[in-house]
Amino acid sequence: MFTSIMTDSFSFSDIFKSSFLENITAVSVLDMALTIALAFGIGLFIFYVYKKTYRGVMYSSSFGTTLIALTMITSQVILAVTSNVVLSLGMVGALSIVRFRTAIKEPLDIAFLFWAIAAGIILAAGMIPLAIIGSVIIGLILLFFVNRKPHKNPYIVVLSCADHAAEQEAMKYLNAQTERCVVKSKSAQNGLIELNLEVRLKDDNTDFVNTLSSMNNVSSAILVSYNGEYMG
């Protein structure tokens, strides 16, 4: 009988020993504070680089805030995983069902998302110099290459002509005034011809558009900047 009571008492204490309360001391308060602070600093730097290199149509401040939060969240998850082997196995299964449905409009945004996630993982893994120095190098490279302006900015000319003769005259004038002129699209309907042309200007002078619009049988001439993805 005494042996049975001791066995029951031992099993009862084992239940409490295996409770989640033991995980409180799995990660020290200093490690948590240091990881969160560094993750916030690196995330803030990523946000700064994103803001300085953004070249899209409409800037979204919420995406920049997401980069900071993503760095901090990833570092906390990896810090918890590295402190408990059993938790790491469960976390793999839990995270495998996560799906992101938000459309990425700019290709460069994908690089910033992976940068924030990678920085959080490396930081929580204890490789602090790699996380900091690597982020600084990546940021400087992005600032240099993204902000580097091409020698000749491309433009799109939207031209509306009433007949073929006016189209030929306008094209001849454009070829003489620009360094390069390539037809991107052409539509003709009820005698109206509309052309979309990619041009490279010889200089910053855009007065040739005024001359184009004043030609005979040319109803309109519009010049817009163009980066290969959108007009605006």
Q: How do residues 167-177 score in pLDDT, each as one tens digit?
A: 888 888 888 88
Measuring CA to CA, which residue among 214, 165, 223, 219 is closest to residue 194? 219
Tell which phi-psi region holds residue 221, choosing left (phi > 0), alpha (psi between -120 and 50) or beta: beta
> For the whole model, what pTM was predicted?
0.62
Q: Examine the pLDDT at 25 and tell me if it is beyond 80.
A: no
For residue 23, the 8-state DSSP code is: G
Q: What is the pLDDT of residue 179?
A: 82
Report the alpha-carbon distance of residue 203 to residue 142 in Å, rounded. 27
Q: What is the pLDDT of residue 130?
A: 92
Q: What is the pLDDT of residue 60?
A: 75
Lookup: tokens for 169: 């005259």
The mean per-residue pLDDT over the stretch 9-26 comes to: 54
Q: Examine the pLDDT at 194 and tell me if it is beyond 60.
A: yes
Lookup: tokens for 139: 């940021």
The mean per-residue pLDDT over the stretch 12-31 comes to: 60
The mean per-residue pLDDT over the stretch 16-22 comes to: 53
Q: What is the pLDDT of residue 99?
A: 61
Report the alpha-carbon distance of residue 40 to residue 69 in Å, rounded. 8
Alpha carbon of residue 104 to chain centroid = 7
Q: What is the pLDDT of residue 224?
A: 84
Q: Which value, in Å, is the radius of gyration of the alpha carbons in the chain?
A: 30
The mean per-residue pLDDT over the stretch 212-219 comes to: 83
Q: What is the pLDDT of residue 6?
A: 47
Domain-wise residue ranges, the chain: 28-146, 154-225
Q: What is the pLDDT of residue 2?
A: 44
Write out pLDDT tens, residues 49-106: 998 888 766 777 888 898 999 999 888 888 877 776 555 555 555 555 556 566 667 7
Report the alpha-carbon distance of residue 232 to residue 219 in Å, rounded. 21
Write the CATH number of the domain with boundaries 154-225: 3.30.70.260
With cut-offs at 50, 70 and 90, classify the pLDDT of residue 206: confident
The mean per-residue pLDDT over the stretch 129-135 comes to: 92
Query: Residue 139 CB: number of other CB atoms within 10 A?
Result: 19
Spell out a b/e string for 66-97, using b for 16 or more CB atoms within 10 Å of the CB, else e.
bbbebbbbbbbbbbbbbbeeebeeeeeeeeee
Q: What is the mean pLDDT of the chain?
A: 77
Q: What is the pLDDT of residue 5?
A: 45
Phi/psi for 95 (5° steps) reads -75, -15
Q: 213 or 57: whose pLDDT is higher?
A: 213
Tell which phi-psi region holds residue 111, choosing left (phi > 0), alpha (psi between -120 and 50) or beta: alpha
Is the CB of residue 120 less than 8 Å from the CB of residue 54? no
Write out pLDDT tens, residues 143-168: 888 877 655 668 888 888 888 888 88
Is the CB of residue 113 less than 8 Å from the CB of residue 67? yes
Q: 91 or 141: whose pLDDT is higher?
A: 141
